[in-house]
Structure 1
Amino acid sequence: MPSLFETDIRKLKGVGEKRAALFAKLGAPTVGDLLRLYPRDYQDWSEVTPISEAGIDEVCVVRGEVASPPIEQRIRGGKLMHRCTVTDGVSNMKLTFFNNRYIPSLLKEGETYLFRGRIGASGRTASMVSPEFAPADRSAEIVPIYPATQGLTSRSVAQAVRSAMALLPDTLEDPLPGEIREQYKLCYLGYALENVHFPKTMEDLEIARRRLVFEEFLVLQLGLMEIKSGSRQENLHPIPGGFPEEFTRLLPFKLTGAQQRAVTEGVKDMSGPSTMNRLVQGDVGSGKTAVAAALCWPVIKAGQQAALMAPTEILAAQHYKSLSGLLEPAGVRCGLLTGGAGAEHKRVREGIRSGEIELAIGTHALISEKVEFHELGLVITDEQHRFGVKQRMALAQKGASPHMLVMSATPIPRTLALMAYGDLDVSVLDELPPGRQEIATYLIGPDKRGRAFGYVRKFLDEGRQGYLVCPLIEGDESGMMSLEEYLSRVREAFPGVEVAALHGRMKPAEKEQVMAGFAKGDTRLLVATTVVEVGMDVPNAAIMLIENAERYGLSQLHQLRGRIGRGKFQSACILISAARNPESVERLKVFKSTNDGFAIADADLKLRGPGDFFGQRQHGLPQLKIASMSMDMELLKEAQKCARRIYRSGALEGCDYRLLRGEIRRLFEKTGGGRLAL
């Protein structure tokens, strides 16, 4: 099908310049792209359910005769409502429609229609509110629902897909060789495309979807393996092997077994024939920064520089404070580079260029054109899920094939980590340093906020500090309080207590001032948005209250809770939520029940899918069109196994895999995330 990916969508009947621009907006500028624009949902009209057998809250298709003409009523606010009754000859069902003045002309008494909607109950009688309907002689079918945009409906997309299907050759070449299709019981591509777009039965759809999901996962895995192989460059910055015992003597604490293991793996990488490309992931407080410092030490002792890039100025400043405090007494010169200009900015840049600064710590400022390194041997990115692959590579390009260390405090299930960071080896810090406190977590409704404030007051009376987290800087139509309104309420509830606010729109100098005041203990309560999610390390902070907790993903809540319990004091986290949605309630109950970040990550993956780990697609992975890393976990594992076998055998280079190589190139060329020599 390669030629169709080069065929402009305007070749299809009825698609001109304007409509082509709309299709491009949906990610389908070519006919091939359109065939890979899969429906986001389906409406199954193929199975008709008798009214008496329709279960409450189920979506059903019912055949019914209109027993009485629709009656028009005006309701509150001048809105229009129509009601009528339909019957299937055995049972009746009541229908209600809102704000559709055409209902009397569309539903005729004595005529029979198909009605599709969610079954409710009106007394003992079944009901539907605003169902879709069609003439009863409509052919039983499964209707695809496509992504749409203003000016382009799902029906218009379906018509274009039908035209595109007509352009497929009778004998379509399949990217998956026959042996793979046979081994994994996968259907032929032509069948898969026909039945993912216009299935005759739900069984046909499942067969088609299974094949396309497997193919997408396989293509992604093989592409990541190719990137990983391509990133295995010759080690131009070898360091002496062996655990850096000299560094550990600088530490005021003993490394955990997990930390020692991660450091050993990293040193082995850096002393080997290829560059290190390693992810260190661990729970909040598992000691990733100590691992990073331990790996910087031998690099710097070998006469090279290291750079650590953090996503926020708060976190960069925190790293600078802890790392310079640890390393500078041992003779390692550190520098901090964040946004801005001025003499200090210029001085740090000059120190990095000359090699005087051996460890450069900063934000995205490190990848600006003005920054030059003397000899960059190690690149570290922290909170990797906030960076894209391009940003990671941009820092690496400041040197000649430096070693790469990636750190993430968002615990990721291993299967997902292999997908997200397929170009990296993985070290897991699954052991917390001794002394970390278990944090008590409570879930309450807004009506108990007063009691919660009283509980916070107890911590303040004991000399502790606390965070009060508010989701919105400014109010919106949801009716939730803005940060300013909440701040006012907090000051009223805590007279005589020094309260400050912190949010992302403040100027860097203002943020720095607020954080410094909280770190010194001058500020007792910090009212903040999720800007405190990373980088705040105040051991005296022992209480956190999170408003509208349902607004956050589990992993984000876990990061927030990780700001407390960092000292010797028993800590507590209070979640306030009025959520009634079963999924939201379930998530918050899971969070309340455990402090284990990996257990939380597994729950998040099941409940919300992988998006919550990576935010708004900043992780550099190609976008999956049909596969779901949460719903299709078993297929993902099968595809990973298949990809490893293909790659290790060298079969990918063979003629039978020519089309599969084309699919890999096509998937990855849109991300710019790696070099593929296919």
Structure 2
Amino acid sequence: MNLTMDIKYLKGVGPKMKEELNKAGVFSFLDLLLYFPRDYESVDILNDKSTWIENSTVIVEGVVKKINRDLRIRNNMTITSIKLENSCGEFYCKWFNMPYIKNNFKIGSKYVLKGKVYNLKGDKGLNNAKVIRNSNLDSMKVVSKYNLRGKLTNTFLNKIITELVNNVDIQENISKEIIKRYNLISLKDAIINIHCPQGKEMLIRAKERLKFQELFTYSLKILSLKKYFKCANGIQYKICEELSIIKEELPFELTGAQRRTLREILLDQKNTYPMNRLVQGDVGSGKTIVAIISMLNVVKNGYQASMMAPTEILARQHYNETCALLKKFGINIELLVGSTTKKNKEIIKEKLKEGKIDIIIGTHALIEDNVEFNKVGLVVTDEQHRFGVNQRCRLSNKEENVDVLVMTATPIPRTLSLYLYGDLDVSIIDELPKGRKEIKTRYTEKKQSQKAYEFALNEIKKGRQVYIVCPLVEENEEMKLTSVEEHFKELQKNIFKDVEIEILHGKMKAKEKELVMNRFKNGEIKALISTTVIEVGVNVPNATVMIIENAERFGLSQLHQLRGRVGRGEHQSYCILVPEVKSEVTRRRMEIMVESNDGFYISEQDLKIRGTGELFGIKQSGEDELLLANLREDMNILRVANKEAQMVIDSEDMEHIKMKKEILRKLSSSSNYICYN
């Protein structure tokens, strides 16, 4: 059987069921193999009938004590019953309209039966029980449960999957050496036991093998990509003298971590292969200035540079900061965002193509097909996890073998970064600029939040500014959450009635958002009532208070990002969390925020609570998704799998070289990392 064969050729699949399987995303034999159970039902031997639950399925042992005469009741229905006994007492098994069943039993013989529990006035027994042979006992203890849609049933899926796994040829695709080192079962045994477990132990081993397989293969792909980059021909840049000038004229001193990261980037730029580097830095650590200096060096070597940000607000902020820092160097800088007028877009695109623009800063508008560079040398992507793989690749593919610098303010646990960014070299800015004071964080119940607003008002009277974050734009009857619009009206009428306050949210037009942000930066607006549109990159040093309504609705990493909008100046800053829901989980999450300003620690805790999909936004369109491995639970497997993959990449052993080539060849036409032969 070929795994690419249409599912209609599998025994037991007719035209109607083929249609049902297609609706579930199953089109080929391989799709069916990878249609893993969503859960498993454990069926243990329960000899004590006092533990039986009515209508549940149990397995029980018993010796036949008596075979009763058939009882004929209404409508010619017959009931066959047998009395059995085990160490816990006596019980009956009954069958309806199956008089022949008694021929399968002998008085004095021991049987194992599986049936549904009935409860007749307190007397429990089994209905329509089936005899289980000893050879099948282990497999009956764990039953697979699948995601069902339409007319699909567990019985049907179990039947056709059993037919498939018993007849298909599943080839091994990792070396015997690795299998032996970690005592892994074969790939075929793993596939069989993930669907039809031969007991709990084999199910555990099947999961371990398939998770290792998936993470090993993914790591091999990513590390091969990294090695390919190191062998590709890139652009060699000289270190221009303007770098010394800009560093001397900065209005602040670079931190040690910034200087270290800049050295690593400049070394990459001097190399013969393209740079592919991730810069991780906690909120407010100063990643942008490092990127600007990197772009300056590229431009002074005769190339163009681009920077892509996820929001217009952040793109405009980067544009303004870049213009201010590089104004004396005679560099042409332009901004290209969604709200740029059609006429100006065409002018900018033409100038970019002709090489009249040195640095272009923008949003996703930069990756449109008709945006062409004249001689691009560096592509910078800010808050990289907010873009899908396809978006990031489309920007870097504007020119072959350009340098790529990606930045994120979401600190990523080291092991997880092996999965998310395994193809990149990593720099960490783990030091905040001098003079920054640690943000003081508190949380308060909703009914006591008035004090938080009184505190914020006092800060405003001192000349400071305030952020207030709400989860919704408009009021929603189904979700009892604080909305920006309703909260704005309430604050405007009451505690902030004599204060200049304004709204900011994603539904506003770009020009409206820009106007509000500029007024807030200039100090005209004292309190900004906003959604999470301010989460990324917004820099207002005079803002010292952040109040977050419905704080339980946000992940820890998102709360940390929001908190990072304050604490950017010389004044003491505060973050006040106002959760609506009272629970032990909410309390613990709020305490984590109170006790730590360390983004890496908070990220680790968030990962434990929420998992990677929500935390880093990796389940985006076009992103690689794991079928079985769970990065929250399988960190140890990822660590080992990545280590083995690196050994294979570095190895000159012929078996490893052959295995690597074969896996990468097959992956080129495969959409999964488990079974691709």
Q: Is the aligned partner of 1:490 residue 2:502?
A: no
Counterparts of 2:298 and 2:244, CA distance in 1: 14
Cα 1:158–1:480 shift into 2, 3 Å = farther
**For 2:600, which of 598, 601, 607 is the aligned residue?**
598
Aligned to 1:247: 246
Counterparts of 1:135 and 1:437, CA distance in 2: 71
Cα 1:20–1:485 shift into 2, 3 Å = farther
Aligned to 1:267: 266
SS at the partner of 1:466? strand
Counterparts of 2:26 and 2:458, CA distance in 1: 59
Which of 507-516 and 33-42 deviates more?
Answer: 33-42
Counterparts of 1:154 and 1:186, CA distance in 2: 28
Aligned to 2:343: 343
Q: 1:186 offset after TM fit, Å?
A: 0.6
Aligned to 1:112: 124
Q: 1:483 offset after TM fit, Å?
A: 2.7
Cα 1:544–1:230 shift into 2, 3 Å = same
Aligned to 1:445: 445
Aligned to 1:297: 296
- 8 Å CA contact 1:306–1:377 kept in 2: the answer is yes
Cα 1:343–1:658 shift into 2, 3 Å = closer
Offset from partner CA, 1:175-194 (integer Å, 9 cap, x none): 12221100111111122112
Cα 1:647–1:62 shift into 2, 3 Å = same
Offset from partner CA, 1:354-396 (integer Å, 9 cap, x none): 2222111001111112322121011000000011222222112
Counterparts of 2:224 and 2:576, CA distance in 1: 46
Q: 1:233 offset after TM fit, Å?
A: 5.8
Counterparts of 2:443 and 2:161, CA distance in 1: 49
SS at the partner of 1:286? coil
- 8 Å CA contact 2:352–2:373 kept in 1: the answer is yes
**For 1:541, which of 536, 540, 543 is the aligned residue?**
543
Q: What are the equivalent positions in structure 2 for 1:300-311 lying under 5 Å apart? A: 300-311=299-310
Cα 1:154–1:315 shift into 2, 3 Å = farther
Structure 2 unaligned blocks of 5 or more: 61-86, 90-116
Aligned to 1:198: 196
Cα 1:336–1:531 shift into 2, 3 Å = same
Q: 1:24 offset after TM fit, Å?
A: 4.5
- 8 Å CA contact 2:353–2:373 kept in 1: the answer is yes
- 8 Å CA contact 2:43–2:59 kept in 1: the answer is no
Aligned to 2:7: 9
- 8 Å CA contact 1:112–1:135 kept in 2: the answer is no
Q: 1:14 offset after TM fit, Å?
A: 4.9
CA RMSD of aligned residues (A): 3.1
Counterparts of 1:416 and 1:667, CA distance in 2: 23
Counterparts of 2:370 and 2:336, CA distance in 1: 12
- Give the partner amino acid of 1:452: A
SS at the partner of 2:249? coil
SS at the partner of 2:185? coil
Aligned to 2:332: 333
- Give the partner amino acid of 2:626: L
Aligned to 1:611: 613
Q: What are the equivalent positions in structure 2 for 1:151-166 lying under 5 Å apart? A: 151-153=151-153, 156-166=156-166
Aligned to 2:114: none
Aligned to 1:572: 574
**In the comparison of the two structures, how many residue pairs are matched?**
608
Offset from partner CA, 1:434-465 (integer Å, 9 cap, x none): 12221111122222222222222222222211
- 8 Å CA contact 1:412–1:613 kept in 2: the answer is no
Counterparts of 2:491 and 2:254, CA distance in 1: 40
- Give the partner amino acid of 2:202: D
Give me the identity figure in percent.
Answer: 40
Q: Is the aligned partner of 1:180 residue 2:185?
A: no
- 8 Å CA contact 2:284–2:432 kept in 1: the answer is yes
Larger Cα-atom Rg: 2
- Give the partner amino acid of 2:552: E
Counterparts of 1:184 and 1:501, CA distance in 2: 57
- 8 Å CA contact 2:469–2:548 kept in 1: the answer is yes
**For 1:229, which of 227, 230, 233 is the aligned residue?**
227
- Give the partner amino acid of 1:262: T
Cα 1:204–1:367 shift into 2, 3 Å = same
- 8 Å CA contact 2:194–2:207 kept in 1: the answer is yes
- 8 Å CA contact 2:240–2:301 kept in 1: the answer is no
- Give the partner amino acid of 1:402: V
Counterparts of 2:608 and 2:48, CA distance in 1: 34
- Give the partner amino acid of 2:526: R
Cα 1:14–1:516 shift into 2, 3 Å = farther
Aligned to 1:28: 26
SS at the partner of 2:472? coil
- 8 Å CA contact 1:541–1:565 kept in 2: the answer is yes
Cα 1:402–1:21 shift into 2, 3 Å = farther
Q: TM-score, normalised by structure 1?
A: 0.83
- Give the partner amino acid of 1:164: L
Structure 1 unaligned blocks of 5 or more: 64-87, 91-104, 115-132, 671-675
Cα 1:656–1:418 shift into 2, 3 Å = closer
- 8 Å CA contact 1:192–1:209 kept in 2: the answer is yes
Cα 1:154–1:435 shift into 2, 3 Å = farther
- 8 Å CA contact 2:396–2:404 kept in 1: the answer is yes
- 8 Å CA contact 1:500–1:514 kept in 2: the answer is yes
Which of 24-33 and 431-440 deviates more?
Answer: 24-33
Aligned to 1:515: 517
- Give the partner amino acid of 1:227: L
Aligned to 1:382: 382
Aligned to 1:280: 279
**For 1:37, which of 35, 38, 57 is the aligned residue?**
35
SS at the partner of 1:175? coil
- Give the partner amino acid of 1:643: A
- Give the partner amino acid of 2:511: A
Aligned to 1:67: none
SS at the partner of 1:480? coil
- 8 Å CA contact 1:367–1:394 kept in 2: the answer is yes
Counterparts of 2:320 and 2:614, CA distance in 1: 30
**For 2:642, which of 635, 640, 643 is the aligned residue?**
640
Q: 1:620 offset after TM fit, Å?
A: 5.4
- Give the partner amino acid of 2:486: E
Q: TM-score, normalised by structure 2?
A: 0.83
